[in-house]
Amino acid sequence: MNTRIVQWLSVIAISIPAQTINLHGTVSSTAGGPISGAIVSIAKLKLMDTTGADGGYSFGGPTGVLTRGLSGLQLQDGNLSVSLTAPLAGRITVLDLEGKVLARIQTPVLAAGIHSLPLPAISSKSLLVVQASFGDQTMLVRTLPLATGRFADGSPLLVGSATAARALATVDTLTVGAKGYLSKSVPLSSYEQVQDVSLSPVATCNPADKTGDPVSVNVSNSGSALTGTHQVVVETDPSLAGRTIYRPKDLAPGAKYPILIWGNGGCSLNATDHTDFHLEIASHGYVIISDGTPKGTGNRDMVDVTTLGAPQIAALSWGIGQNSKACSRFYQALDTVHVAAFGWSCGGLMTVGASIDKRIFTSIIMSSGLLSPDQTTLDKIHAPIAYVCGGSSDIAYDNCTRDYTNMKTVPAILANDPVGHGGTYYSDNGGEFAKIAIAWFDWWLKEDASVKSKFVAPDGQFSKSPWTLQTKRLP
């Protein structure tokens, strides 16, 4: 059923009034049963409760006083599709990735059912978050305003991610843990709400599901000690043919290391050609899946970018799958939402093709660009993108600059270090190209706000020698 929005409110700023505490809910397993004896705590207030036999917990008020009813949210064909299980009025809020409110819409009471709600035109060209609040429940979806004034189909945001937390104007964090289950932290937008929490059991490995052991690769950095805080393991895996993995040694459930997928220069199948570069990045808490095998030979054919991107996407799918396999050393250790693609030269073309995949959160194109103008392909890229090139002597400089210029909708940068097409991959710890890659990933994937100034401040690290920097639509 289509319902028209009848009230439009302009919002200048967020104000969080003083609140009383009326927070309650249930803790259950992903199978649906209540979990008794779970420890539930509110971080800032230092309050704690233990769930009863029904899985219930309560802070400061009786249970059952708030109204539920929001069961689904998605963006399709420019409209927000909202599924309700009870008649409710609601509020739709459009925010940028820093949590700034751009627009707010109040709905009348909507009947139970599915409603298609038009969204207002937003002048921003950056990624946005649409927040729907009905009754006590809030859901989020990430989207991008299009040149037509409509919105791209949105991918869901998991409540618990840092982006979601900012968009919800988080006032506190609810932490839940129980013996035999993986702990979970949930951002709170209010101390007056029902917050149900579902915990995943700590899985045990069924020997029948176990694959062959990884094979260690004996490589090391050739220069200075790595600057990250993690020791790095390099290995191949029998369940992932034709790839090599650079990862932190300290894998453990809850580590949440972002996944990076790499394409080599020349579309080479030698995954140890850029060892220092990859070891340095992995030491900062990233799992890199590089195309090719250790000292591998041969190259992938340089065909259309969609076909070129397929190997990186296959590697990403493998990594995401490993995160949920109890027998895997990666079990619950990976961040499967904040994932990225990057690559050099022909590997940059692979990355363009991979960046079309909706799971990619950001990407870096290094000394590369489309071989000929293709606006249709560029318009399919939906997430922030960095072009990192070697200055005017780089053979890919013109293509790199052209594609940055033609990137019309997403946050983007064009960074040049005048070292030519070879970059700094073979320099100590990967040189300047490793530094800018780590900073970009720390900002977008780990959402480290302290790194932002390196890109946006006039005297930021990548705005001064040896770098020159252009930016657009950065939040």
Query: If residue 404 lies in a helix (H) or strand (E), which one and from where to where?
Result: helix 397-405
Residue 154 banded pLDDT, cuts 50, 70, 90: low
Contact 261, 278 (CB under 8 A): no
In this structure, the answer to whether residues 302 and 334 fall within a common structural domain is yes
Among 158, 182, 199, residue at a domain's last position: 199
Contact 278, 313 (CB under 8 A): no
What SS3 class is residue 52?
coil
In this structure, the answer to whether residues 22 and 129 fall within a common structural domain is yes
Helices assigned H by DSSP within 258-370: 275-282, 305-322, 346-355
Q: Is residue 416 part of a domain?
A: yes
Helices assigned H by DSSP within 213-302: 275-282
Residue 124 reports pLDDT greater than 80: no
Residue 11 reports pLDDT greater than 50: no
Whether the link from the prior residue into 466 is cis, omega within 30° of 0, is yes
Quote the pLDDT of residue 105. Answer: 87
User: How far is residue 322 from each of residues 120, 210, 302, measured CA to CA in Å?
Assistant: 40, 11, 29
- Report the alpha-carbon distance of residue 471 to residue 410 in Å, rounded: 11
Contact 99, 166 (CB under 8 A): yes
Closest of 216, 441, 228 to residue 329, by C-alpha? 216
In this structure, the answer to whether residues 136 and 261 fall within a common structural domain is no
Residue 3 reports pLDDT greater than 80: no
Q: What CATH number does the domain containing 430 carry?
A: 3.40.50.1820
Facing residues of 258 across strands?
Answer: 335
Pairing of strands 7-9, 101-106: antiparallel
Pairing of strands 192-194, 22-29: parallel
* pTM over 0.85, yes/no: no
Quote the pLDDT of residue 97. Answer: 66
In this structure, the answer to whether residues 116 and 156 fall within a common structural domain is yes
Q: Which residue has the higher pLDDT, 90 or 149?
A: 90
Q: Is residue 280 part of a domain?
A: yes
In degrees and rounded to multiples of 5, residue 321 shows phi and psi of: -65, -40
Would you state the structure tokens that stand for residue 414, as one six-digit string? 């064009």
Closest of 245, 247, 330 to residue 294, by C-alpha? 245
Write out pLDDT tens, residues 78-109: 788 888 878 888 888 888 766 678 888 888 88
Residues 6+ apart with CB under 8 A from 205: 326, 327
What SS3 class is residue 456?
helix
In this structure, the answer to whether residues 163 and 245 fall within a common structural domain is no
Considering its fold, how many domains does the chain have in total? 2
Residue 450 CB: number of other CB atoms within 10 A? 8
- Report the alpha-carbon distance of residue 152 to residue 79 in Å, rounded: 9
User: How far is residue 209 from each of residues 12, 140, 302, 325, 329, measured CA to CA in Å?
Assistant: 54, 35, 37, 9, 13
Residue 150 reports pLDDT greater than 60: yes
In this structure, the answer to whether residues 247 and 275 fall within a common structural domain is yes
In this structure, the answer to whether residues 172 and 310 fall within a common structural domain is no
Write out pLDDT tens, residues 208-255: 888 889 999 999 888 899 999 999 999 999 999 999 999 999 998 888
Helices assigned H by DSSP within 61-196: 162-167
Q: Is residue 171 part of a domain?
A: yes
Q: Which residue has the higher pLDDT, 340 or 14?
A: 340
In this structure, the answer to whether residues 139 and 234 fall within a common structural domain is no
Contact 188, 170 (CB under 8 A): yes
Residue 157 banded pLDDT, cuts 50, 70, 90: low
Query: What angle (nearest 5°) sits at the alpha carbon of residue 140, between those of residues 174 and 63?
Result: 45
Residue 322 reports pLDDT greater than 50: yes
Name the strands in the sheet holding 47-50, side by side, starting at the edge strand that comes first in the sequence: 47-50, 39-42, 172-177, 184-188
Q: Is residue 20 part of a domain?
A: yes
Write out pLDDT tens, residues 418-454: 999 999 999 999 999 999 999 999 999 998 888 999 9
Q: Is residue 156 part of a domain?
A: yes
Contact 391, 417 (CB under 8 A): yes
In this structure, the answer to whether residues 284 and 416 fall within a common structural domain is yes
Quote the pLDDT of residue 203. Answer: 81
Length of the chain: 475
Closest of 9, 19, 12, 11 to residue 188, by C-alpha? 19
In degrees and rounded to multiples of 5, residue 177 shows phi and psi of: -145, 150
Q: Is residue 46 part of a domain?
A: yes
Residue 158 CB: number of other CB atoms within 10 A? 10
Q: Which residue has the higher pLDDT, 125 or 172?
A: 172
Averaged pLDDT, 377-395: 95
In this structure, the answer to whether residues 217 and 164 fall within a common structural domain is no
Would you state the structure tokens that stand for residue 398, as one six-digit string? 């013109």
What SS3 class is residue 207?
helix
Which residues constitute the domain of residue 453? Answer: 208-472
Which percentage of the chain shows pLDDT scores above 90?
53
Q: In whole numbers, what is the pLDDT of the chain averaged over residues?
A: 85
Residue 167 reports pLDDT greater than 50: no
In this structure, the answer to whether residues 218 and 158 fall within a common structural domain is no
In this structure, the answer to whether residues 290 and 195 fall within a common structural domain is no
Q: Is residue 259 part of a domain?
A: yes
Q: Is residue 1 part of a domain?
A: no
Quote the pLDDT of residue 5. Answer: 27
- Report the alpha-carbon distance of residue 383 to residue 337 in Å, rounded: 13
Among 172, 199, 226, residue at a domain's last position: 199
Among 143, 178, 199, residue at a domain's last position: 199
- Output the furthest CA–CA distance in the chain (Å, rounded): 69
Residue 286 CB: number of other CB atoms within 10 A? 26
Quote the pLDDT of residue 160. Answer: 41
